[in-house]
């Protein structure tokens, strides 16, 4: 309920995508949340959303690696797409960020150090690909972002990278998700695949520190990745 309040979503407006998005970063709460969701649906306090039964308690929707890379290339290189959509899509594909985290990013989290550019997602700066750094710089200098920074400077707080209406508030994750769908760009499925890629390449504690997810969540993803690879190799061997 706190998450819904923070993202300006009422219980009555809760969608299956909103619920899936929350479960992506809070998989260990799946079992505890089921009774509440059943209670709310039975009393028509929310739509007929469900918590999917899933081994290891993690979302099942994903893309294959080629699809994820294709989406990333589109975000970085397709100048016909809106600038904001390209940045949000690239952050999803590269760093497995949920929409709720992306809309909270502020302009002061981006900085350059010589020829390198960094984005502080959680506690530690993450090195950005040069193409994405250029896109973020263009966004920061855009009229909407400058207005946000100017208004926020009066209160001593940094402006949002993706300002909403009014600019003192971030965009609604629900609005952003719909916006990305309109352009056929990455959503929950892409984020799940990106998290699998990250957890395969990096230790869970590093993923937790860089991307700002709870250590328990990172370890749950690690366990899920290990079991997924074991099932894959077992399937391959059975066909030999």
Helix/strand/coil for 110? strand
Q: Identify whether residues 222 and 178 lie together within a single domain.
A: no
pLDDT at 56: 44
pLDDT at 59: 54
Q: What percent of the chain has pLDDT over 90?
A: 28
Q: Residue 30: is its pLDDT beyond 70?
A: yes
Domain that holds residue 24: 2-57
Q: Identify whether residues 166 and 103 lie together within a single domain.
A: yes
pLDDT at 55: 46
- Cβ atoms of residues 23 and 15 within 8 Å: no
Q: Identify whether residues 19 and 106 lie together within a single domain.
A: no
Q: Identify whether residues 50 and 119 lie together within a single domain.
A: no
Task: Give the global pTM.
Answer: 0.67
> pLDDT (tens digit, 9 = 90+) per residue, 62-86?
778 899 999 999 999 999 999 999 9
Q: Which range in 8-17, 45-54, 109-118, 186-195 is most confidently predicted, on average pLDDT?
A: 109-118
Q: Identify whether residues 20 and 69 lie together within a single domain.
A: no
Q: Identify whether residues 30 and 92 lie together within a single domain.
A: no
**How crowded is the C-beta side of 33, counted as CA atoms within 13 Å?**
16
Q: Identify whether residues 37 and 119 lie together within a single domain.
A: no
Quote the number of domains for the chain.
3
Q: Identify whether residues 37 and 123 lie together within a single domain.
A: no
pLDDT at 118: 96
Q: Residue 156: is its pLDDT beyond 70?
A: no
> In three state form, how does the secondary structure of 133-191 look?
HHHHHHHHCCHHHHHHHHHHHCCCCCCECCECCCCCCECCHHHHHHHHHHCCCCCHHHH
> Which residues does 100 contact at the CB level (< 8 Å), separation at least 6?
3, 6, 7, 21, 25, 173
- CA-based angle 55:59:128, to the nearest 5? 130
């Amino acid at each position: 309920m706190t998450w819904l309040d923070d993202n300006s979503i009422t219980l009555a407006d809760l969608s299956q995508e909103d619920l899936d998005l929350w479960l992506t970063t809070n998989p260990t709460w799946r079992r505890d949340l089921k009774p509440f969701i059943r209670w709310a649906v039975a009393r028509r306090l929310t739509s007929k959303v469900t918590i999917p039964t899933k081994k290891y308690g993690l979302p099942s929707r994903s893309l294959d690696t080629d699809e994820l890379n294709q989406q990333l290339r589109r975000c970085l290189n397709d100048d016909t797409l809106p600038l904001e959509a390209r940045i949000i899509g690239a952050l999803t594909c590269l760093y497995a960020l949920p929409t709720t985290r992306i809309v909270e990013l502020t302009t002061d989290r981006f900085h350059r150090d010589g020829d390198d550019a960094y984005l502080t997602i959680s506690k530690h700066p993450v090195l950005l690909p040069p193409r994405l750094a250029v896109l973020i710089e263009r966004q920061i200098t855009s009229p909407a972002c400058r207005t946000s920074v100017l208004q926020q400077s009066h209160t001593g707080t940094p402006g949002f990278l993706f300002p909403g209406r009014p600019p003192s508030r971030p965009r609604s994750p629900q609005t952003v998700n719909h916006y990305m769908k309109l352009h056929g760009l990455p959503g929950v499925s892409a984020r799940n695949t990106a998290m699998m890629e990250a957890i395969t390449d990096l230790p869970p504690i590093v993923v937790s520190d860089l991307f700002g997810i709870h250590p328990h969540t990172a370890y749950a993803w690690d366990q899920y990745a290990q079991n997924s690879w074991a099932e894959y190799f077992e399937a391959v061997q059975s066909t030999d």
